[in-house]
């Protein structure tokens, strides 16, 4: 994945983290794990790039103008940790608010799909969490063919 694509994702996450109620959430990288607070005192979102795939594409024909470039497909996992002592329903609301913020700040239309996990329990931080999985698609055009 090119650094410009990584920068686009980083900028998008930064916009999401400042959007509305998301400003009260803490956004951290998922690794290294020691950055995850213990105990969790406010909603915390740990961001992980789970997978990435790069494909070349060409649109055009033999005699006409054509475009070629690369298609970047990335899967991000945004793990929402609930503050200690909160109820599961508040975690469901928090993850839905995160998904809404992600869609609202997707001016590049990168989101190809969003999925939610069930509620899990992290034994290291002793708190509940829920994953929001974002499948992203981005293109980078190259010179005309």
Segments making up each domain of the chain, as ranges: 3-141
Instruction: Give this prediction's pTM.
Output: 0.82
Mean pLDDT of the chain: 85
pLDDT digits (tens, 9 = 90+) for 29-50: 877 666 667 788 899 999 998 8
**What share of residues in the chain are helix, strand, coil (percent, to 5)?**
30, 45, 30
CA atoms within 13 A on the CB side of 105: 20
**Runs of H (alpha helix) within 1-145:** 3-18, 88-104
Instruction: Report pLDDT for 76.
Output: 95
pLDDT digits (tens, 9 = 90+) for 7-33: 889 999 999 999 999 999 999 987 766
Instruction: Report pLDDT for 92.
Output: 93
CA atoms within 13 A on the CB side of 143: 0
- Please tell me the distance from the alpha carbon of residue 86 to that of residue 102, in angstroms, as a whole number: 23
pLDDT digits (tens, 9 = 90+) for 89-138: 899 999 999 999 999 999 999 999 999 999 998 887 788 999 999 999 98
Which residue would you say has higher pLDDT here, 75 or 4? 75
**3-141 under CATH 2.60.120.200, yes or no:** no
Instruction: Report pLDDT for 35.
Output: 67
Which residue would you say has higher pLDDT here, 134 or 54? 134
Instruction: Report pLDDT for 145.
Output: 44
Instruction: Report pLDDT for 33.
Output: 62
- Please tell me the distance from the alpha carbon of residue 59 to that of residue 137, in angstroms, as a whole number: 17
pLDDT digits (tens, 9 = 90+) for 55-93: 887 666 666 566 677 888 999 999 999 988 787 789 999
Instruction: Report pLDDT for 1.
Output: 40
Indicate the burial class of 106 (C-beta count within 10 angstroms; 0-12, 13-18, 19 or more): middle
Q: What is the DSSP string of 87-112?
A: -HHHHHHHHHHHHHHHHHT-TT--EE
């Amino acid at each position: 994945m090119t650094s410009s694509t990584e920068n686009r994702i980083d900028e998008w996450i930064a916009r999401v983290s400042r959007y509305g109620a998301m400003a009260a959430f803490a956004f951290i990288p998922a690794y290294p794990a020691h950055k995850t607070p213990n105990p969790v005192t406010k909603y915390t979102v740990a961001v992980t790039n789970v997978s990435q795939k790069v494909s070349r594409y060409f649109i055009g024909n033999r005699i006409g103008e054509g475009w070629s470039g690369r298609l970047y497909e990335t899967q991000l996992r945004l793990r929402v940790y609930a503050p200690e002592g909160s109820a599961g329903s508040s975690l469901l609301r928090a993850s839905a608010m995160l998904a809404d913020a992600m869609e609202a700040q997707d001016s590049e239309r990168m989101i190809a799909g969003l999925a939610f996990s069930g509620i899990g329990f992290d034994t290291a931080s002793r708190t509940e969490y829920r994953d929001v999985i974002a499948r992203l698609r981005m293109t980078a055009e190259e010179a005309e063919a």
